[in-house]
Structure 1
Amino acid sequence: MTTTTITPARHRSLGDHTWQDEAVCQRTEYNPVNPDIFFPEPDETDKIATAKALCGQCPVRRTCLDVALETGDTHGIRGGMTEEEREPRHEKLASRLDYSRVNATVAGRDVHLTKAERRAVVHAAYRHGLPVQRLAWLLKITEEHAQKLYRETRRALRNRTLEQTTKTDSGLDRDDFGTAA
């Protein structure tokens, strides 16, 4: 019988750069990596292939890619992708919704969040009944702002419920009432 173990996502905390110590591209006495291979010219396909091969072995490749996207880094190969390959992802970053990041934040970790993920944290905190003070601490905002976000969430949920109720009430067809003979 084979078993599969899914390790939890390890997200970089705010201001955390310790992940770089685990990167394959770090030059050490025993790992003489030439940093120039990560900054190839567009026509240097050998350098690009070599850099991507190193990135493919890296245990922090996803974190490296996230950092490049979050900081808008447009130079070199990061997370196994060239600048051109990262560009579409960078454009979509604001709408990224990774629930493992949301859950990590609700659990109290300082994780980089997109706007969509911040909204999901507010919604999850509201659903779990977290106090306004806790939400303010999680998102690094004032308690007044946290109260405003809870009010908006409460209003949105109420309106969604009203819309669903209206749809089911007005969803009757004329045939449901019968026809006169």
Structure 2
Amino acid sequence: MTPTTISPAHHRSLGDHTWQDQAVCQSTEYNPVDPEIFFPEPDETAKITTAKSLCGQCPVRRTCLDAALEGGDTDGIRGGMTQEERAPLHEKLASRLDYSRVNATVAGRDVHLTKAERRAVVHAAYRHGLSEQRLAWLLKITEEHAQKLYRETRRALRNRHLKNSTTTTAPSEAGGERLGRDDFGTAA
């Protein structure tokens, strides 16, 4: 049996454009590429096919697609997809939750995160016992904001625990009758 290894995901850091040096679309002396093929009109199928075939050979195709989505680039062919093919991905980007990105951020990498991924980082940091200062550094927020996020996380976990414990206990009954809201009086 051949052992299999899963290499960790390498996500583009914020502001990192070094991946572009490895892109097949970069024109060199030995590989001249016309950048215009990546910006075809919708009816220029030959250009679209050529651009997509180049993208299919590219080692940084996924990174290119992520950069286009995260940067809001809607023009041209990026990551092997036309702007029409990327449109649904742009719409869903805010709800993306990629745990490899969350783990990379908790490990200290400066990765672009969606709102859902930022919430997951807060939860993971809280579970791992990271300090509020470390959370603030990871998410590039103030320590006061990190404290607020930890308070919200503690409250959410406590409420989830309370909700789970109340659903497992049987409801109280008085004399075989269910108690209603009016049976408890008012708070002082």
TM-score (norm 1): 0.92
1:140 equivalenced with 2:140 (yes/no) = yes
C-alpha separation in 1, matches of 2:170 and 2:60? 53
Amino acid at match of 1:24: V
Secondary structure in 2 matching 1:7: coil
For residues 28-56 of structure 1, the C-alpha deviation after alignment (integer angstroms, 9 at most, x for no partner) is 01111111110111011111111111111
For residues 111-170 of structure 1, the C-alpha deviation after alignment (integer angstroms, 9 at most, x for no partner) is 000000000000000000001000000000000000000000000000111111111114
C-alpha separation in 2, matches of 1:166 and 1:100? 34
1:164 equivalenced with 2:164 (yes/no) = yes
1:108 equivalenced with 2:108 (yes/no) = yes
Q: CA 1:154–1:34 in 2, change beyond 3 Å: closer, same or farther? A: same
Amino acid at match of 2:53: A
Amino acid at match of 1:104: A
Aligned to 1:7: 7
Instruction: State the Cα RMSD in Å.
Output: 1.3
Identity across the alignment (%): 84
1:40-119 equivalence runs, <5 A: 40-119=40-119
Question: What is the total number of aligned residue pairs between the two structures?
Answer: 172
C-alpha separation in 1, matches of 2:40 and 2:33? 14
TM-score (norm 2): 0.89
TM superposition outliers: structure 1 runs of 4+ over 6 Å: none
Amino acid at match of 1:54: L
C-alpha separation in 1, matches of 2:44 and 2:170? 64
Aligned to 1:178: none
C-alpha separation in 1, matches of 2:4 and 2:28? 34
Secondary structure in 2 matching 1:123: helix
Unaligned segments of structure 2, at least 5 residues: 173-188
Q: 122-131 or 2-11: which moved more? A: 2-11
C-alpha separation in 2, matches of 1:42 and 1:171? 63
Q: CA deviation at 1:6?
A: 2.1
Q: CA deviation at 1:171?
A: 7.7
1:19-58 equivalence runs, <5 A: 19-58=19-58
Amino acid at match of 2:117: E
Unaligned segments of structure 1, at least 5 residues: 173-181
